[in-house]
Amino acid sequence: MSGRSVRLLLGVLVLQTAFVLSCVGAFRAPVPHRIALAVMAPTTRIADDTFYQLALLPGEPVDPLLVADEDAALDRIHSREVEGALVLSRSGTADLLLVASGAGPLLAEELATHVIAAERHQGRTVRVRDVVPIAPGDKRLLSSFSLVVGWCAGGVLCALVQAYGARRSRPAGSRASVAMGVLLVCSVLAGLLGVLAARTLLDAVPGNFWALWALGSLLVLAVGALTLALYELAGALGVGLAFLLVVVVGVPGAGGVYPTELLPAFWRTVGPYLPPGAGLDAVDSIAYFHGAGAGASWWTLVVWAGGGAAVVLLGGVLVSRPRTPAARATRRP
């Protein structure tokens, strides 16, 4: 076995171990952190008592926000500004908690658990109502998560085919342009096939067909461009770095197995800024909230796609630039 093969195998073992550590570290002890909750109360005294009771819960599992009325609370849920809303009774002690399982069933369950506990201390009871129910074929959002992981895998594989399968006889600048062109076509097709499989064939992921297609294409392009860019910069090591960002850190931090608010600080912080996390947030937004609140996720994917493409194309131009006479003179025979 050649030395290069040994190094590649060692790299694979390192990445595999890092993936295990990342997944176990992210999922072994989910703890809620500042779940946004709107609070609507008929009087200032009840509002203040409930607000501070929730705000002072150990570990800050809930981040309460006062709103004027129930309609305002619903608007904030549907615009994804909060994950739920507590509507305090105008007469009596039986309150209503509005949750959105479309933003994450586990998140809704954790929110209900902490709100019920806080209300019990005040001698009040809570009835839970799901105002954004999850689709029957998307239990715990695992279908949406699987769709995003599939798109990310497609982006990596499309890039690897271009990186290792391109004809080296072609000039570098032309090779880079062709690689990005092929990746763009593959991204459009991969986005379409993913939506057809998950939405049309299996009826698992709801939402606007065209929006999901556009998002899937952008996600595949972002991951593929990132992989090609890192390969352009560092060769095989760059492919490992792409795997590290997209799979080792990105997949656990995406909020698929556990919502982002339940993950440890590292994954909770970096997850939304990597392609899998941004992709899943946008899919959930399209599927359950008519696209609300996903602007930052779309822009995150645009930046990854545009930045990666720029590196690939610029690298191709620099490599293919003709040598100056001085450079040719100093080149070894």
Give residue-wise pLDDT tens across range 91-137: 888 999 999 999 999 999 999 999 998 888 888 899 999 999 999 88
Residues 117, 168 within the same domain: no
Q: What pLDDT is attached to residue 317?
A: 60
In this prediction, residues 18-38 reach a mean pLDDT of 92
Residues 169, 263 within the same domain: yes
Residues 208, 280 within the same domain: yes
Residues 6+ apart with CB under 8 A from 241: 230, 234
In a domain, 327, yes or no: no
Residues 277, 302 within the same domain: yes
Residues 120, 256 within the same domain: no
In a domain, 331, yes or no: no
Q: What pLDDT is attached to residue 319?
A: 54
In a domain, 296, yes or no: yes
Q: What pLDDT is attached to residue 281?
A: 96
Token readout for 254 is: 């995406």
In a domain, 274, yes or no: yes
In this prediction, residues 81-97 reach a mean pLDDT of 91
Q: Cβ(49)–Cβ(39) under 8 Å?
A: no
Residue 325's pLDDT band, with cuts at 50, 70 and 90, is very low
In a domain, 8, yes or no: no
Q: What pLDDT is attached to residue 5?
A: 78
Residues 141, 231 within the same domain: yes
Q: Which of 130, 158, 187 is the last residue of a domain?
A: 130
Task: Tell me which range, 178-182, 208-212, 256-260, is most confidently predicted by mean pLDDT.
Answer: 208-212
Computed over every residue of the chain, the mean pLDDT equals 88
In a domain, 11, yes or no: no
Residue 236's pLDDT band, with cuts at 50, 70 and 90, is confident
Residues 192, 94 within the same domain: no
**Candidate from 110-119, 166-175, 194-203, 226-235 with smallest mean pLDDT:** 166-175
Residues in the chain, overall count: 333
User: How many domains does the chain divide into?
Assistant: 2
Residues 100, 143 within the same domain: no
| CATH value at residue 104 | 3.40.190
Q: Which of 109, 130, 151 is the last residue of a domain?
A: 130
Residues 74, 121 within the same domain: yes
Helix (H), strand (E), coil (C) string for the chain:
CCHHHHHHHHHHHHHHHHHHHHHHHHHCCCCCCCEEEEEECCCHHHHHHHHHHHHCCCCCCEEEEECCCHHHHHHHHHCCCCCEEEECCCCCCEEEEEECHHHCHHHHHHHHHHHHHHHHHCCCEEEEEECCCCCCCCHHHHHHHHHHHHHHHHHHHHHHHHHHHCCCCCCHHHHHHHHHHHHHHHHHHHHHHHHHHHHHHCCCCCCCHHHHHHHHHHHHHHHHHHHHHHHHHHCHHHHHHHHHHHHHHHCHHHCCCCCHHHCCHHHHHHHHHCHHHHHHHHHHHHHHCCCCCCHHHHHHHHHHHHHHHHHHHHHHHHHHCCCCHHHHHHCCC
Residues 103, 150 within the same domain: no
Range of the structural domain that residue 147 is part of:
137-320
Residues 302, 196 within the same domain: yes
Q: Which of 68, 102, 130 is the last residue of a domain?
A: 130
In a domain, 118, yes or no: yes
Each residue of 144-185: pLDDT tens digit? 999 999 999 999 999 999 888 754 545 455 778 888 999 999
Is-above-0.75 flag for pTM?
yes
Cα–Cα distance between 244 and 251 in angstroms, integer? 10
In a domain, 29, yes or no: no
Q: Is the model's pLDDT at 43 over the cut of 90?
A: no
In this prediction, residues 270-284 reach a mean pLDDT of 97
Cα–Cα distance between 188 and 17 in angstroms, integer? 33
**Candidate from 11-25, 37-51, 78-92 with smallest mean pLDDT:** 37-51
Cα–Cα distance between 190 and 146 in angstroms, integer? 14
In this prediction, residues 188-208 reach a mean pLDDT of 95
Q: Cβ(154)–Cβ(190) under 8 Å?
A: yes
Q: Is the model's pLDDT at 309 over the cut of 80?
A: yes
Residues 249, 302 within the same domain: yes
Q: Is the model's pLDDT at 306 over the cut of 80?
A: yes
Q: Is the model's pLDDT at 331 over the cut of 70?
A: no
Cα–Cα distance between 267 and 255 in angstroms, integer? 9
